[in-house]
């Protein structure tokens, strides 16, 4: 009976975490390049009160054992890899990836982080940087007297300068691809870090055979949060929490009954 109390409590804790996750996804439903997370649950260990296959008599065995499970736990929160919607902004430094690749960003501590948010800007030296001011990797510098910037589908960045008719290539954007993007470590600010679970990044130019995807200039990738699915998840979490609390109540009342026996 006390097992039932703890089992139900594990279900309530798991659903609370589920709701926390839904809240974060919904809060980021307008964050450019945000990838939603989905919580995965797993059942806990089982107590074998009667072992399946144990001898029932000298000749026969128990057909099905008596196994009592001890509840649930949140196993993992996996990054959803679906493509977010595209919105056209017309800003020449807004770039979206149509495919599975990530932009590389150099952090102030020298580490490389990865992002899908292509809201780039120029810093005081004309370097292409993210909204937080971190330069993209490999670094691309735009000359100061540029009149137009063109980013090709294959990542080629070219500029047009006054008095010149031909565009001049100033660099090329490289993308990184992970064998298991679900295992990336979210560090906030739309940035991800590579982990042993995600694997080492495969670098390449966009549009190649690796499946990195192509770039679209003047377009941004919106959050991939599916608001309808999140609401469904929220209802499920709430109802499941409720049914687990019913078990707690039932166990409590049964224990009360039991105590009432010894008057």
Partner 1 sequence: MDSGYYAACTAMMTQSQALELVANNLANSSTSGFRAQHSVFQSLLASSSGAPMSPLNEAANQYGILQGTRVDVTQGPLEQTGNPLDLAIEGPGFFVVQTPTGRLLTRNGNFHVAHGQLVASDGNPVMGENGVVQIVGVPVSIAPDGTVSVNGAVAGKLKLAEIKPGTPLESAGATYYSAPQSAEIADTHSTIRQGTLESSNVNTVSATVELITIQRQYDLMRRAMSIFDAQFNKTATEDLPRVS
In the complex, what is the shortest distance from the CB of residue 255 to partner 1, in angstroms, rounded to a whole number? 9
Selected range binding partner 1 among 147-155, 163-171, 214-222, 233-241, rule: CB under 8 A: 233-241
Contacts of 190 (CB under 8 A, 6+ apart): 31, 32, 33, 34, 115, 116, 117, 130
Task: Evaluate whether 119 touches 134 at the Cβ level (below 8 Å).
Answer: no
Q: Which of 19, 26, 31, 78 binds partner 1 (CB under 8 A)?
A: 78
Which among 179, 161, 162 is positioned nearest to 170, based on CA atoms? 161
Selected range binding partner 1 among 22-30, 34-42, 110-118, 143-151, rule: CB under 8 A: 34-42
Measured from the CB atom, is 123 or 200 closer to partner 1? 200
Contacts of 183 (CB under 8 A, 6+ apart): 195, 196, 197, 198, 199
Indicate the pairing of strand 168-172 with strand 175-177.
unpaired
Is residue 112 near partner 1 by the rule CB under 8 A?
Answer: no
Q: Which of 14, 113, 175, 176 binds partner 1 (CB under 8 A)?
A: 14
Is residue 26 near partner 1 by the rule CB under 8 A?
Answer: no
| φ and ψ of 74, to 5 deg | -80, 125
Rg for the chain (alpha carbons), in Å?
27
In the complex, what is the shortest distance from the CB of residue 133 to partner 1, in angstroms, rounded to a whole number? 31
Q: Which of 19, 26, 62, 141 binds partner 1 (CB under 8 A)?
A: 62
Give me 259's structure tokens: 């105590």
Is residue 65 near partner 1 by the rule CB under 8 A?
Answer: yes
Measured from the CB atom, is 160 or 214 closer to partner 1? 214
**Distance in angstroms (rounded) separating the CA atoms of residues 132 and 175:** 19
Helix (H) or strand (E) holding 67: strand 66-69
Angle between the N-to-C axes of helices 227-261 and 2-27, in degrees from 0 to 180, rounded to the nearest 10: 160
Q: Which of 50, 55, 112, 148 binds partner 1 (CB under 8 A)?
A: 50
Is residue 82 near partner 1 by the rule CB under 8 A?
Answer: yes
Is residue 8 near partner 1 by the rule CB under 8 A?
Answer: yes
**Distance in angstroms (rounded) separating the CA atoms of residues 113 and 93:** 19
Selected range binding partner 1 among 19-27, 127-135, 139-147, 206-214, rule: CB under 8 A: 206-214
List contacts with partner 1 (CB under 8 A).
1, 3-5, 7-8, 10-11, 14-15, 18, 38, 40-46, 49-50, 52-53, 62-72, 75-76, 78, 80-82, 100, 177, 179-180, 182-183, 197, 199, 209-211, 236-237, 239-240, 243-244, 246-247, 250-251, 253-254, 257-258, 260-261
């Amino acid at each position: 009976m006390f097992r039932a109390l703890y089992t139900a409590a594990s279900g309530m804790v798991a659903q609370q975490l589920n709701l926390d996750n839904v809240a974060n996804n919904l809060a980021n439903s307008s964050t450019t390049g945000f990838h939603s997370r989905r919580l995965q649950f797993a059942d806990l260990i089982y107590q074998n009160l009667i072992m399946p296959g144990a001898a029932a008599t000298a000749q026969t065995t128990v057909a099905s054992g008596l196994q009592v499970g001890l509840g649930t736990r949140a196993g993992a929160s996996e990054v959803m890899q679906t493509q977010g919607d595209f919105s056209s902004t017309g800003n020449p430094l807004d770039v979206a990836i149509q495919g599975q690749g990530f932009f590389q960003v150099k952090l102030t501590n020298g580490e490389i982080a990865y992002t899908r948010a292509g809201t780039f800007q120029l810093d005081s030296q004309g370097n292409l940087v993210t909204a937080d001011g971190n330069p993209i990797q490999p670094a691309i510098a735009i000359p100061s007297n540029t009149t137009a910037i063109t980013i090709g589908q294959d990542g080629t960045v070219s500029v047009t300068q006054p008095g010149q008719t031909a565009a001049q290539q100033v660099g090329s954007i490289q993308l990184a691809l992970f064998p298991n993007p679900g295992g990336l470590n979210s560090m906030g600010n739309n940035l991800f870090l590579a982990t042993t679970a995600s694997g080492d990044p495969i670098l390449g130019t966009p549009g190649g055979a690796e499946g990195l995807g192509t770039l679209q200039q003047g377009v941004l990738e919106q959050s991939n949060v599916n608001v309808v699915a999140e609401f469904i998840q929220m209802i499920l979490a709430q109802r499941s929490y409720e049914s687990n609390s019913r078990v707690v109540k039932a166990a409590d009342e049964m224990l009360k009954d039991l105590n009432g026996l010894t008057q």
